[in-house]
Amino acid sequence: MSDAKIAIFRRRADGAGTAGGGGGRVLGPVERLYRDHWGGLCRRLRRIYGEGPPEPEDLAQIAFAKVIEQYDHEAIERPGALLFRIAVNAGLDNARKNSRARRFIDDELSYLEGSRVEEITPSDVYESRERLRALEQAIKALPRAQREALLRSRLKGETYAEIAAAIGSSPASISRSLAAATRALAHAVGDIADNDEDKMTAQNRDGQEQRRPRTETQ
């Protein structure tokens, strides 16, 4: 039945935005979110994953479900960006080694954070627009091979062996590319004063924490 699945996702995959004819029908917020962002999100994911796996529509659906569940989605400043971010993260969950590395780093950083800062989840903190612009410039300035290695690792979660096989290189050289790329990015954003005011979802984080209490108290 996987054929059927693909078929159904394609049928109206550009969203029901022009599903007029209904005349005067009021769209609920959930339907509006789908209408405005489903098609665009799927297109962005398709650029990364092609037909998958993971399938772009699956990731998009995970992202929608999360946003609908955890955020006041009418108050989000840039729902498209948030949806994309969640979808990419969901995609990375499928890349075992990559998600293991991310977890390891998160654990270590929060360990170091200790009691100094409470309740800040780094992945929830959005960068200031200024820093993002600097980052954007830095990416564009990277040599092509570095850029591709960087994004394959960050967006697709590929290992260096996988990247090397895909673009015809060696894991060691991919590793060097990645280190060089992240070094350049860190310098680019490091020059700008820290300013984390511009948080896309700051007002939602607390509500989310309350709704999903950590039950696993070991």
Q: Smallest distance, Å, CB 10 to other proteins?
A: 3
- Rg for the chain, CA atoms, rounded: 19
184 contact partners, CB below 8 Å, separation of at least 6: 138, 141, 142, 146
Q: Are the beta carbons of 196 and 127 closer than 8 angstroms? A: yes
Could you tell me how many residues of this chain bind other proteins (CB under 8 A)?
102
Among 75, 120, 141, 161, binds other proteins (CB under 8 A): 161
* 205 touches other proteins by CB under 8 A: no
Q: Smallest distance, Å, CB 169 to other proteins?
A: 13
* 186 touches other proteins by CB under 8 A: yes
Q: Smallest distance, Å, CB 194 to other proteins?
A: 10
Among 71, 79, 83, 98, binds other proteins (CB under 8 A): 98
* 73 touches other proteins by CB under 8 A: no
- Give how far the C-alpha of residue 133 lies from the chain's centroid of Cα atoms, to the nearest Å: 17
Which residue bears the tokens 């209408």? Answer: 35
3-state SS, residue 135: helix
Among 77, 136, 203, 207, binds other proteins (CB under 8 A): 136
* 148 touches other proteins by CB under 8 A: yes
Binding residues among 13-52 for other proteins as defined by CB under 8 A: 13-16, 18-19, 21-22, 25-28, 30-31, 34-35, 38-39, 42-51
Q: Smallest distance, Å, CB 126 to other proteins?
A: 6
Q: What is the DSSP string of 59-100?
A: HHHHHHHHHHHHS-TTT-S-HHHHHHHHHHHHHHHHSHHHHH
Q: What is the DSSP string of 166-196?
A: HHT--HHHHHHHHHHHHHHHHHHHHTSPP--
Q: Are the beta carbons of 137 and 188 closer than 8 angstroms? A: yes
Q: Which is nearer to other proteins, 64 or 71 (CB)?
A: 64
Among 118, 145, 180, 210, binds other proteins (CB under 8 A): 180
* 160 touches other proteins by CB under 8 A: yes
* 202 touches other proteins by CB under 8 A: no
